[in-house]
C-alpha cells in the first residue's frame, strides 16, 4: 500500500514508519526539518515538507495514497501535565490539524484514514473493565479528542473507511515520559498518581505501532489499544522499579495528585480498559502483555543505546 504518515518523527511515528517499511509498504512522511527529512529517508521513507494545517497542500500530497495515518501529537512531559497551557499545541493538532487532514483526505479520494486518540477520556470505573460502549467523560485538557474523533465520523460519512485508535498511556523507547520515570526509579522514587488500587491502562510504543498497521485492515470504527493486563498503580510503580533493579523508598504524590484538579484526570482516574474489540476485529495482540514485561524491555533498550 501507499501510505502517508503525519507525526512521522514523533514518539509513535518513530516506531510506525520503520514498521510499515518492514511490512513492505511505500511510505511518505511529513518532515518539518532537513534533519528529520534525512532520518526518514535513511529509514526508507519519502520525506514531504507540508503543514498539518494546510488542507489544500495536504490534499495535493495525499493524492494517489491508499491510506493516511494521522499520528501527530504534542503530548507534554510528565512535569507539565497539570498545566493547561502545556496542551495547547496538542489541542491545535487534534482540532485544526485533524480537520485539515480529514478534509484533504476526502478531497484527494483517499479510501482509508487512521486517527490517533486516547483512552484516558473514559470515566473512572474502579476495577471494572471498560470497553468502547462506555461513553467518554471529557475534562478540560482533552476537549480536542472528541473533535478529532468527530472528524473521522465525517470521513466515514463521505464513504471512506475511518478508524479511531484510543491508545493507553504510551511508554517505551522514544518517550520523554519514559526516560523521566526510569530516572526517578533509579533514585528509589516511585511515581504513584491517584489511588494505589486504581488502574493504569498502558501500551508500549512498539505495540502501538503494530496496532496502527493492523488498523489498515480493520473495519471502520473506534477501538481501544491497550495491553492485555492493566496493572494497579502500585503494581505499575513496582514494575518500573523492578526494571531498573531499585526498590522504591518513596512513593509519591499518591492521593495528593488528586488536588491538582481536572487537568490530572487522565492519570488520576482508575481505567481498566479492554482491548478485546480490536483483537477480535484484526487478530492483533501486544508483544508485551503488561508493563512488567514492557518496562523491562524499555530499560534493556535504553542500556543497549
Phi-psi label, residue 89: left if phi above 0, alpha if psi -120 to 50, beta otherwise: alpha
Q: What is the pLDDT of residues 176-211, one digit of tens each?
A: 888 888 898 899 888 777 788 999 999 999 999 999
Share of the chain above pLDDT 70, in %: 89
Query: In the CATH scheme, what is the code of domain 2-171+202-228+272-287?
Result: 3.40.50.720
Q: Residues 242-285: pLDDT tens digits?
A: 999 998 877 765 454 444 455 566 678 899 999 999 999 999 99
**Is the per-residue pLDDT at 139 higher than 70?**
yes
| Terminal C-alpha separation, the chain | 32
What does the pLDDT look like over 153-167, one tens digit per residue?
999 999 999 999 999
Strands 272-273 and 129-130: parallel
Task: Write the CB contacts of 118 (distance below 8 Å, at least 6 apart in sequence).
Answer: 142, 145, 166, 167, 266
What phi, psi does 225 have (nearest 5°)? -125, 100
- Residue 266 has a pLDDT of 65
Bridge pairing between strands 231-232 and 199-200: antiparallel
Q: Is the pTM of this model over 0.75?
A: yes
> What value does the mean pLDDT of the chain take?
89
Q: How far is it, in rounded angstroms, from Cα 79 to Cα 74?
A: 14
For the stretch 64-113, pLDDT in tens is: 999 999 999 866 655 555 556 656 787 888 899 999 999 999 999 999 99
Listed in order, strand segments (DSSP E) in the chain are: 2-6, 26-30, 46-48, 67-70, 112-118, 129-130, 161-167, 169-171, 189-193, 199-200, 202-204, 221-225, 231-232, 250-254, 272-273
pLDDT of the residue at 236: 93
Distance CA 238, CA 255 (A): 17
Range name among 1-10, 84-93, 219-228 with the lowest pLDDT average: 84-93
Question: According to the model, what pLDDT value does residue 141 have?
Answer: 74
Domain boundaries of the chain, sorted by first residue: 2-171+202-228+272-287
Work out the percent of the chain whose per-residue pLDDT is above 90: 69
292 three-state secondary structure? helix
Q: pLDDT tens digits for 109-133?
A: 999 999 999 999 999 999 999 999 9
What are the φ and ψ backbone dihedral angles of 113, each rounded to 5 degrees?
-135, 135
Amino acid at each position: 500500500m501507499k501510505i502517508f504518515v503525519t507525526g512521522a518523527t514523533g514518539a509513535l511515528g518513530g516506531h510506525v514508519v520503520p514498521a510499515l517499511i518492514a511490512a513492505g509498504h511505500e511510505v511518505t512522511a511529513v518532515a518539518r526539518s532537513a534533519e528529520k527529512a534525512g532520518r526518514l529517508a535513511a529509514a526508507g521513507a519519502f520525506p514531504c515538507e507540508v503543514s498539518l494545517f494546510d488542507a489544500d497542500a495536504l490534499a495535493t500530497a495525499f493524492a494517489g495514497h491508499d491510506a493516511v495515518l494521522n499520528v501527530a501529537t504534542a503530548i507534554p512531559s510528565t512535569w507539565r501535565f497539570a498545566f493547561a497551557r502545556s496542551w495547547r499545541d496538542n489541542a491545535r493538532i487534534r482540532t485544526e490539524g485533524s480537520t485539515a487532514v480529514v478534509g484533504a483526505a476526502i478531497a484527494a479520494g483517499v479510501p482509508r484514514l487512521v486517527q490517533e486518540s486516547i483512552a484516558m477520556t473514559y470515566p473512572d470505573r474502579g476495577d471494572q473493565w471498560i470497553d468502547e460502549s462506555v461513553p467518554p467523560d471529557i475534562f478540560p485538557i482533552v476537549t480536542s479528542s472528541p473533535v478529532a474523533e468527530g472528524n473521522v465520523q465525517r470521513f466515514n460519512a463521505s464513504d471512506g473507511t475511518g478508524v479511531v485508535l484510543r491508545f493507553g498511556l504510551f511508554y517505551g523507547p522514544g518517550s520523554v515520559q519514559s526516560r523521566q520515570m526510569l530516572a526517578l526509579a533509579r533514585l528509589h522514587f516511585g511515581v504513584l498518581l491517584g489511588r494505589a488500587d486504581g488502574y493504569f491502562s498502558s501500551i508500549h510504543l512498539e505495540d502501538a505501532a503494530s496496532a496502527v498497521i493492523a488498523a489498515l485492515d480493520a473495519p471502520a470504527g473506534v477501538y481501544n489499544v491497550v495491553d492485555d493486563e492493566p496493572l494497579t498503580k502500585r503494581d505499575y510503580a513496582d514494575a518500573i522499579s523492578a526494571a531498573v533493579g531499585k526498590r522504591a523508598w518513596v512513593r509519591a504524590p499518591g492521593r495528593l495528585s488528586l488536588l491538582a484538579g481536572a487537568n490530572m484526570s487522565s492519570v488520576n482516574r482508575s481505567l481498566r480498559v479492554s482491548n478485546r474489540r480490536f483483537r477480535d476485529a484484526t487478530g492483533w495482540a501486544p508483544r508485551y502483555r503488561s508493563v512488567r514485561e514492557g518496562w523491562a524491555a524499555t530499560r534493556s533498550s535504553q542500556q543497549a543505546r
